[in-house]
């Protein structure tokens, strides 16, 4: 209930205006009907004068104009609610999602997140604020007016008997709501899966084609669509059952009105004019009860939709600023002290002791899966960590606001993300104030020579709808993106794996020359990328098995020496070829 009320609390003034205008509008709709009994009875008693007729016509015109104005205002404020709610709830979801690091996706899949924050909000949540509110006003306020009107022209028992079939119908539909909720829930969960699968299929379209798996993927997708359609049909059947029930209520109500009405007229408890008014009202009474049922349906859908939204909002923020009291202004060193890290139950980093001094270049090497990326992700505070085991300038990393840490760092990730935008926009990445540094970043990332060959230069569109780039070019865009802000700490996470040896050499040289006094952390597969680092860390199976300068490691670390020898041989072979 509270989840639904929350929507209305967000725009109280609008709801208040809708209530006032629709109360007034409904009153004006029914007023002419009350005049019917007066006119019919005056004709029957031969007391109706010409002046009375003119007066009634004036009243009707005035009411018509007022009703038009009031309804227009009411409709505007009712239907604007749909867009207000869509905007408000979408903003709420965005806010809560961005409180999390990507570990949120271990608990709520991207597909679930998308279907909840688009499909649920657009189709099931927002309508309650407009159509739902309209139905509520018609079902409650208009309905009450009609009931009072019938009562004013007849007796209490007659009124109760006429509305009884509709009241029974509403109670019956309300009691069936949990039954409908089951199908509705299944329907939404299937939609989550469909969105997830669509997302994965779009991302993996190349792999799917390469492995000739189109038919299989399509079959799996269609089977989910079928489940969705079946559940939707079941849900619709339950909702549509309402129509025959409503027709039955109407028939019974009419029968009672006619039979009992004649009895009342015969006994002088109701006038013929009164009966005519009631018959006019009976043509109107069906709608408010339809509206009430529509409101119940909309309420069920909104409640479920909001519960799904609140499930996202209530996710515990595992990396938070609870202990934070400082903004990071990196001065001295980063230290890992006896640091361990687990993904769920899997221990991935063990007993890490490492110091990274300001202004130094650190290389990290190791086999795939040895924990290199996991180690640098700790600096970005992307995962909750064991307390008091990473220190920056002698203070625990938890004592710094996470945004201030991230402001001091720039990363080119292994899984770089490029967008279907121009090359320039991909590098600037919403930081328009850095535009004058673009040229420098292109040069330092050794990308300038490639961009000069593109006919549109930095404005060349890249991605699905633009130019297809080589893996090395894409990596260098990610490197340029991280270099352009001249960050205090630069992290290249295996970002040189797809560039050739000469390009790698250029980039490393540029970093060395242009980033004097700044800190660089370079994760690499090739020794050549870290050979000149102030310190190289060798990771194996989550443990540091060697650290020192290149020459020291050649002496002390067998694995490093063998890697260096092997890569030197390979390089020589390549040169000879
Ligand atoms: P590297 O960068 O050296 O290739 P990673 O840090 O990516 O290694 O991975 C180290 C280990 O942690 C691997 O065994 C990998 O399977 C595991 N791992 C990496 N990311 C996750 C994750 N998000 N959840 C669970 N395990 C992970």
Q: Could you read off the pLDDT of 419-440 as tens digits, one per residue?
A: 888 999 999 998 989 999 999 9
73 pLDDT above the threshold of 90: yes
Query: How far away, in angstroms, is 539 Cα from ligand 1 center?
Result: 13
Q: Which amino acid residue places its CA nearest to atom 7 of ligand 1?
A: 373
Give SS3 for 255. Answer: helix
Any atom of ligand 1 within 6 Å of the Cβ of 471: no
Give SS3 for 514. Answer: helix
Query: How far away, in angstroms, is 98 Cα from ligand 1 center?
Result: 23
343 neighbors 349 (Cβ within 8 angstroms): no
Of the pLDDT bands very low, low, confident and very high (cuts 50, 70, 90), residue 464 is low
Mutate to test the pocket of ligand 1, among 374, 380, 411 (most ligand atoms within 8 A of CB): 374
Query: Whose CA is closest to 140, among 297, 367, 292, 355?
Result: 292
488 pLDDT above the threshold of 60: yes
Q: Considering the entire predicted model, what is its pTM?
A: 0.76
Per-residue confidence (pLDDT) for residue 101, from 0 to 100: 86
Ligand 1: atom nearest CA of 366 is 3
Ligand 1: atom nearest CA of 494 is 2
Q: Which residue has the higher pLDDT, 240 or 503?
A: 503
Query: How far away, in angstroms, is 503 Cα from ligand 1 center?
Result: 28
466 pLDDT above the threshold of 60: no
Ligand 1: atom nearest CA of 370 is 3
Query: Whose CA is closest to 67, among 36, 19, 35, 30?
Result: 30
Q: Which amino acid residue places its CA nearest to atom 5 of ligand 1?
A: 371
Query: Whose CA is closest to 522, among 324, 375, 353?
Result: 375
Q: Which stretch of 175-184, 495-504, 544-553 has the lowest confidence by average pLDDT? A: 175-184
Q: Which amino acid residue places its CA nearest to atom 13 of ligand 1?
A: 369
**Per-residue CA distances from 31 to 27, 34, 35, 307, 460 (Å):** 6, 5, 7, 42, 67
Query: How far away, in angstroms, is 440 Cα from ligand 1 center?
Result: 34
- pLDDT single digits (tens) 180-234: 778 888 888 888 889 988 888 888 887 888 888 888 888 988 988 898 888 888 8
- Cα separation of 311 and 93, whole Å? 10
Q: Which amino acid residue places its CA nearest to atom 26 of ligand 1?
A: 343
Of the pLDDT bands very low, low, confident and very high (cuts 50, 70, 90), residue 102 is confident
Taking each helix axis as running N to C, give the angle between helix 272-313 and helix 242-266, from 0 to 180 degrees, rounded to the nearest 10: 150
Any atom of ligand 1 within 6 Å of the Cβ of 102: no
Q: Which amino acid residue places its CA nearest to atom 22 of ligand 1?
A: 343
Any atom of ligand 1 within 6 Å of the Cβ of 348: yes
- Cα separation of 246 and 285, whole Å? 11
Q: Which amino acid residue places its CA nearest to atom 16 of ligand 1?
A: 369
- Cα separation of 232 and 238, whole Å? 10
Ligand 1: atom nearest CA of 414 is 2
Of the pLDDT bands very low, low, confident and very high (cuts 50, 70, 90), residue 106 is confident
With tokens 């779009």, the residue in question is 202
- pLDDT single digits (tens) 129-177: 999 999 999 999 988 998 998 888 788 888 999 999 999 988 888 887 7
- Cα separation of 513 and 486, whole Å? 13
Any atom of ligand 1 within 6 Å of the Cβ of 374: yes
- The whole-number average pLDDT for the span 318-335 is 93
Query: How far away, in angstroms, is 323 Cα from ligand 1 center?
Result: 27
| Residues ≥6 apart with Cβ < 8 Å to 496 | 475, 479, 504, 507, 508, 522, 524, 526, 529
Ligand 1: atom nearest CA of 344 is 25
Give SS3 for 426. Answer: helix
* Strand-strand pairing, 489-493 and 519-523: parallel
**Per-residue CA distances from 17 to 22, 25, 80, 94, 308 (Å):** 8, 12, 12, 29, 29
Mutate to test the pocket of ligand 1, among 109, 110, 339, 343 (most ligand atoms within 8 A of CB): 343
**Per-residue CA distances from 362 to 359, 500, 530 (Å):** 10, 21, 8
Ligand 1: atom nearest CA of 343 is 25
Any atom of ligand 1 within 6 Å of the Cβ of 366: yes
- pLDDT single digits (tens) 524-548: 988 999 999 999 999 999 999 999 9
Query: How far away, in angstroms, is 548 Cα from ligand 1 center?
Result: 24
Q: CA 374, 513, 454 angle in degrees (round to 5)?
A: 80
| Residues ≥6 apart with Cβ < 8 Å to 206 | none
Q: Which amino acid residue places its CA nearest to atom 27 of ligand 1?
A: 343
Per-residue confidence (pLDDT) for residue 573, from 0 to 100: 78
- pLDDT single digits (tens) 241-260: 777 888 889 899 989 888 98
- pLDDT single digits (tens) 507-526: 999 999 999 999 999 999 88
With tokens 């990363």, the residue in question is 411
**Per-residue CA distances from 226 to 194, 219, 223, 234 (Å):** 11, 10, 5, 12
- Cα separation of 272 and 279, whole Å? 10
Ligand 1: atom nearest CA of 103 is 23
Any atom of ligand 1 within 6 Å of the Cβ of 25: no
370 neighbors 539 (Cβ within 8 angstroms): yes
Any atom of ligand 1 within 6 Å of the Cβ of 370: yes
Give SS3 for 428. Answer: helix
- pLDDT single digits (tens) 368-408: 999 999 999 999 988 888 778 999 999 999 999 999 999 99
Query: How far away, in angstroms, is 479 Cα from ligand 1 center?
Result: 22
SS3 of the chain: helix, strand, coil, percent, to 5:
65, 10, 20
Q: Which amino acid residue places its CA nearest to atom 23 of ligand 1?
A: 343
- pLDDT single digits (tens) 556-568: 999 999 999 998 8
* Largest Cα span, the chain: 122
Q: Which two tokens stand for residue 491?
A: 């992290």
Ligand 1: atom nearest CA of 375 is 6
Ligand 1: atom nearest CA of 523 is 2
- Cα separation of 556 and 153, whole Å? 104
HEC letters along 442-472: HHHCCCHHHHCCCCCHHHCEECCCCECCCHH
Ligand 1: atom nearest CA of 367 is 3
* Phi, psi at 357, each rounded to 5°: -80, 150
Per-residue confidence (pLDDT) for residue 378, from 0 to 100: 93
- Cα separation of 83 and 71, whole Å? 19
Classify burial at 417, counting beta carbons within 10 Å of its beta carbon; exposed 0-12, middle 13-18, buried 19 or more.
exposed
Mutate to test the pocket of ligand 1, among 101, 319, 348, 378 (most ligand atoms within 8 A of CB): 348
For the chain, what is the radius of gyration of the CA atoms? 36
Q: What is the mean pLDDT of the chain?
A: 89
- pLDDT single digits (tens) 261-301: 888 888 888 888 778 878 888 888 888 888 988 898 899 88
With tokens 């002046």, the residue in question is 51
Any atom of ligand 1 within 6 Å of the Cβ of 345: no
Give, for 392, the enclosing helix (H) or strand (E).
Answer: strand 390-392
Mutate to test the pocket of ligand 1, among 369, 491, 493 (most ligand atoms within 8 A of CB): 369
- Cα separation of 295 and 134, whole Å? 8
Other Cβ atoms less than 10 A from the Cβ of 522: the count is 26
Query: How far away, in angstroms, is 319 Cα from ligand 1 center?
Result: 19
Query: Whose CA is closest to 132, among 284, 21, 15?
Result: 15
Any atom of ligand 1 within 6 Å of the Cβ of 368: yes
Any atom of ligand 1 within 6 Å of the Cβ of 160: no
Per-residue confidence (pLDDT) for residue 355, from 0 to 100: 96
């Amino acid at each position: 209930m509270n989840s639904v009320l929350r929507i209305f609390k967000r725009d109280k003034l609008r709801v208040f205006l809708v209530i006032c205008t629709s109360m007034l509008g409904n009153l004006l709709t029914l007023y002419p009907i009350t005049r019917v009994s007066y006119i019919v009875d005056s004709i029957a008693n031969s007391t109706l004068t010409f002046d009375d007729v003119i007066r009634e016509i004036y009243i009707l015109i005035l009411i018509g104009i007022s009703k038009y104005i009031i309804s227009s205002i009411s409709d505007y404020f009712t239907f604007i609610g749909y867009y207000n709610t869509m905007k408000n709830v979408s903003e709420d979801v965005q806010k809560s999602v961005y409180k999390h690091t990507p570990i949120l996706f271990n608990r709520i899949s991207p597909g679930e997140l998308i279907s909840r924050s688009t499909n649920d909000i657009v189709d099931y949540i927002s309508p309650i604020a407009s159509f739902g509110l309209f139905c509520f006003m018609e079902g409650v306020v208009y309905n009450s007016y009609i009931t009072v009107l019938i009562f004013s022209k007849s007796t209490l028992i007659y009124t109760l008997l006429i509305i009884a079939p509709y009241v029974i119908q509403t109670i019956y539909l309300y009691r069936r709501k949990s039954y409908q909720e089951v199908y509705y829930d299944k329907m939404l969960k299937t939609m989550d899966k469909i969105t997830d699968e669509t997302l994965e299929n779009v991302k993996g379209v190349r792999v799917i084609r390469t492995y000739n798996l189109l038919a299989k993927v399509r079959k799996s997708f269609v089977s989910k669509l079928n489940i969705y359609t079946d559940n939707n049909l079941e849900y619709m059947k339950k909702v549509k059952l309402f129509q025959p029930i409503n027709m039955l209520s109407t028939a019974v109500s009419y029968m009672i009105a006619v039979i009992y009405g004649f009895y009342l007229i015969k006994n002088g408890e109701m006038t013929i004019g009164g009966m005519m008014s009631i018959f006019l009202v009976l043509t109107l009474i069906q709608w408010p009860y339809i509206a009430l049922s529509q409101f119940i349906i909309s309420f069920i859908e909104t409640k479920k939709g909001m519960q799904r939204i609140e499930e996202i909002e209530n996710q515990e923020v595992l990396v938070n600023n609870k202990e934070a009291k400082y903004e990071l202004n990196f001065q001295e060193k980063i230290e890992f002290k006896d640091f361990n890290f687990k993904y769920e139950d899997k221990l991935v980093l063990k007993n890490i002791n490492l110091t990274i001094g300001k202004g130094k270049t650190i290389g990290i090497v190791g086999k795939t899966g040895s924990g290199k990326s996991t180690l640098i992700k700790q600096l970005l505070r992307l995962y909750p960590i064991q307390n008091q085991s990473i220190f920056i300038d002698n203070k625990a990393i938890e004592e710094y606001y996470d945004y201030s840490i991230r402001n001091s760092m720039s990363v080119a990730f292994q899984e770089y993300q490029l967008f279907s935008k121009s090359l320039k926009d991909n590098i600037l990445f919403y930081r328009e104030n850095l535009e004058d540094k673009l040229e420098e970043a292109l040069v330092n990332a050794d990308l300038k020579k490639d961009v000069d060959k593109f006919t549109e230069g930095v404005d060349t569109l890249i991605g699905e709808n633009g130019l297809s780039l080589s893996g090395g070019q894409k990596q260098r865009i990610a490197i340029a993106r991280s270099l352009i802000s001249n960050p205090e700490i630069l992290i290249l996470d295996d970002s040189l794996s797809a560039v050739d040896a000469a390009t790698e050499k250029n980039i490393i040289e540029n970093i060395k020359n242009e980033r004097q006094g700044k800190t660089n952390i370079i994760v690499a597969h090739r020794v050549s990328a870290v050979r000149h680092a102030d310190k190289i860390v060798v990771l194996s199976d989550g443990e540091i098995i060697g650290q020192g300068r290149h020459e020291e490691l050649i002496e002390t670390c067998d694995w490093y020496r063998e890697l260096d020898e092997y890569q030197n041989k390979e390089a020589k072979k390549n040169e000879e070829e």
